[in-house]
Structure 1
Amino acid sequence: MFARQALRSAQATSPRFFSTSASANRAVAVLGASGGIGQPLSLLLKQNPLVTDLRLYDVRLAPGVAADISHVNTPSTTTGYQADQLGEALKDVEVIVIPAGVPRKPGMTRDDLFNTNASIVRDLAKKAAEVAPNAHLLIISNPVNSTVPIVAEVFKKAGVYDPKKLYGVTTLDVTRASTFLSGISGKKPAETIVPVVGGHSGVTIVPLLSQANGGDAVAKGEQYEKLVHRIQFGGDEVVKAKDGAGSATLSMAYAAAVFSDSLLKALNGEQGVKECAYVESPLYKDQGATFFASPVTLGKNGVEEIHSVGKVSAEEEKLLEAAIPELAKNIKKGVDWYAASP
């Protein structure tokens, strides 16, 4: 009784979780479902009424995770797939979420993760291009700045690339920025949504605090610089706090579930669905940043419109000037790696 009331209460007080509109049949696959992000993400997706068929895949333990989650009393079916069943897991899916890969450890940067995670993402993308070429791909595996371009190259080689259906999930940067800003402004986090543009690591993360409700509460100088640094390196804060036992898995799962929900609502025909996401973009293409995170409008076919960064402050302009060359390097690294290791 209490658990049921608590669930109803949680749903009532969480405006973003989840849409209660009538849903089409939506098959969603989580690749890397038994990991630190994959398990809580799978649980959150099981609670989303827009998901009707939840497929969980990993190299180990996915059937067990699926069995556990399947006991949650929501309508969607949940199936786990073994290491040799990737093709079955992907058959006829519409949305593929990829958190697979090794986690960050103390002292590691996202670049330190590159070689291992690049190989994992490449191999999963190859099978997706073969079995589910029309699916929407949500990439979580770090370093996102490089893994998303790798997926694009895989799909290009297979002749099935659609840039409107490939997203690097940068929603965690937005939720962090909103949370941290609300602690300064005193406003509710839901009222302090901060657009975060650029990329998904370090200096490539550019929070546009000047565009946020409550952004004027941040004093220029030291307070502003500390807040920006905390948003850009929030993952390090979690890695340190977990003392080597993990990274930002729970908050990342939440952020990925938020973006997944927005995409599913758009696929179902809801209008005006807007999120920040790392996508193939013309905004800074002339500077080598062929992928860039900015607000995008989502629709039935994926990305409908890529919005500009808008008016920015002098401080934010400097952040962009630092971010774009670094982001261009990250993208080139992914493209070059795939050219050498197709």
Structure 2
Amino acid sequence: MLSKVAARSFSSSASAAYKVAVLGAGGGIGQPLSLLMKLNHKVTDLALYDIRGAPGVAADVSHIPTNSTVKGYNPDQLQEALTGADVIIVPAGVPRKPGMTRDDLFNTNASIVRDLAKAAADYAPKAALLIISNPVNSTVPIVAEVYKSKGVYDPKKLFGVTTLDVLRASRFVSEVAGTNPVNEKVTVVGGHSGITIIPLLSQTNHKDLDAETRDALVHRIQFGGDEVVKAKDGAGSATLSMAQAGARFAGAVLDGLAGEKDVIEPTFVDSPLFKSEGVEFFSSKVTLGVEGVKTVHPLGQLSEYEEELVKTAKETLIGNIKKGVDFVAQNP
């Protein structure tokens, strides 16, 4: 029998046709992400853009026999790359090096994301915009501010991709529990860096882990990226797993746009959950639909331990979000 996800993909993949633009397609995330998007049967037009190397990536990926055209675009062709896009994925930016936090990336990546957001707002304002560029907790608010300044902001169409935290949670939980990670569904909420990443283990089959095991597992999920940065020894950060995470989330957004039912993924969005406390953006499960975000799900029953993690995350997120908003105010 087909799983729900497989059935979803199978049922409407034949009729859906979408243009997807990858901004930063020549980079460590962008190249494998472009490959994975070429394999998605809903994508009929794949536009690959970067400051260098995109035509080469496009030529390479274009030989894969799926029913989509691929074109690479140079810096002077951004308008053409974006025009008509249904989904825009932004992995552009510099990767982390050993000892760097996602926040250390801020100054470089903030400018890149701001400039790409301006172009997206001008040339494809109705597209769903998926932000991978770190630090996501700050870059997503940057995009929101740019879109607001141009009068085209739609909170239902802006997403921070936090799916890598979900993938890591499934994998790391399975290693502790001795289970198949494919069967481990872990909701991860909050944000997308360090202590803002909160895996809701109390909502899994592993709510009774001893405190030491639980604490170590949560810490590993929160700081799993550091393992990769260290292992790559200065040569990059999590690019392949991030590409898979980006492709999975982009696939879910495309399923939603195609009108498929019960498409649910956690993502960092303009959220009503804690707005009254000054937290404008928060990651939680959302149902995806033809309009983008259809429903933002509440967090559900949390353990006391998770309540504390959420409290700390909210305090950190307020600062992260303000950093993005202030950047656009000072550097319009």
Q: Is the pair's TM-score, using the shorter chain for normalization, greater than 0.5?
A: yes
- The alignment partner of 2:284 has SS state of strand
Cα distance 1:17–1:203, how it changes in 2: closer, same or farther (>3 A)? farther
Q: Which runs of 5+ in 1 are unaligned?
A: 1-11
Residue 241 of structure 1: aligned partner: 231
- What does 1:221-300 align with in structure 2 at a 5 Å threshold? 221-300=211-290
TM-score normalised over the length of structure 2: 0.96
Counterpart of 2:95 (choices 84, 88, 103) is 103
Residue 215 of structure 1: aligned partner: 206
Deviation at 1:221, TM superposition (A): 1.6
1:174 matched to 2:166:
yes
Structure 2 counterpart of 1:215, which letter? H
- The alignment partner of 1:282 has SS state of coil
Runs of 4+ that moved beyond 4 A: 12-18
Deviations 1:269-314 (A, max 9, x none): 1011100000000111122210000000000010000001100011
Cα distance 1:116–1:309, how it changes in 2: closer, same or farther (>3 A)? same
TM-score normalised over the length of structure 1: 0.94
Paired residues of 1:17 and 1:48 also in contact (CA < 8 A): no
Paired residues of 1:16 and 1:258 also in contact (CA < 8 A): no
Deviations 1:183-211 (A, max 9, x none): 12222212211000000000000110111
Deviations 1:55-80 (A, max 9, x none): 00000000000000001111111000
Deviations 1:95-138 (A, max 9, x none): 00000000000010111100110000000000110010100000
Worse-matched range after superposition: 179-188 or 17-26:
17-26
Residue 137 of structure 2: aligned partner: 145
Rounded to whole Å, the distance in 1 between the matches of 2:258 and 2:7 is: 16
Worse-matched range after superposition: 176-185 or 157-166:
176-185
Residue 203 of structure 1: aligned partner: 195
Deviations 1:22-64 (A, max 9, x none): 2322000000000000000000000010100000000000000
Deviation at 1:244, TM superposition (A): 1.0
Counterpart of 1:25 (choices 14, 17, 21) is 17
- What does 1:4-83 align with in structure 2 at a 5 Å threshold? 19-20=9-10, 21=12, 22-83=14-75
Rounded to whole Å, the distance in 1 between the matches of 2:239 and 2:3 is: 23
Q: Which runs of 5+ in 2 are unaligned?
A: none
Structure 2 counterpart of 1:276, which letter? P
Paired residues of 2:94 and 2:109 also in contact (CA < 8 A): yes
Deviations 1:227-286 (A, max 9, x none): 000000010011011111110000000001000111111111101110000000011112
Rounded to whole Å, the distance in 2 between the matches of 1:190 and 1:289 is: 33
Cα distance 1:200–1:142, how it changes in 2: closer, same or farther (>3 A)? same
Cα distance 1:23–1:105, how it changes in 2: closer, same or farther (>3 A)? farther
Deviation at 1:14, TM superposition (A): 12
1:329 matched to 2:322:
no
